[in-house]
Amino acid sequence: MADILLDATILIDASNNHQRALPYVDNLLLTQSAATHAQVVAEVLTVTRDSRELAKLQRFMRRFNLLHANEADSQSALLYLTRFHLSHDLGFGDCLIGSTALRLNLPVATLNDRHFRLFPGLKVIRPY
């Protein structure tokens, strides 16, 4: 089981060798079981521009446990989306990630703490 769920904002920075993100992620992988969500992988894949970047990203993403939403997560995500989409511009992807993290009682490491702080009981970590 994982100890922390990494959001796309962190993984994109780390995969691009960001000077603060890469050491943070490397340290997590050494000391904890780091995971990401299938939705995060989908989000990160959409920023690749060519097959070389895609292959590099796929190699990088193999380092993480991959979590998936279940039916209850999807239902919860739709409730959060209905509640917060108009008032906070919250998208379904973040709702799905947040709902899964809540079910698994995992903190979310992200640079997008504005959206994830909307989930009552979800521990949000902004590492840098």
Q: What integer pLDDT is reported at residue 47 of this predicted model?
A: 87
Domains defined along the chain, listed by start: 4-68+104-125 (3.40.50.1010)
Buried b (16+ CB within 10 A) or exposed e, 21-55: beebbeebeeeeebbbbebbbebbeeeeeeeeeee
- What's the distance, CA 41 to chain centroid? 8
Per-residue pLDDT of the chain (128 residues; tens, 9 = 90+): 799 999 999 999 998 889 999 999 999 998 888 999 999 999 999 989 999 999 988 999 999 999 999 999 999 999 999 999 999 999 999 999 999 999 999 999 999 999 999 999 999 999 99
Answer yes or no: pTM beyond 0.85. Answer: yes
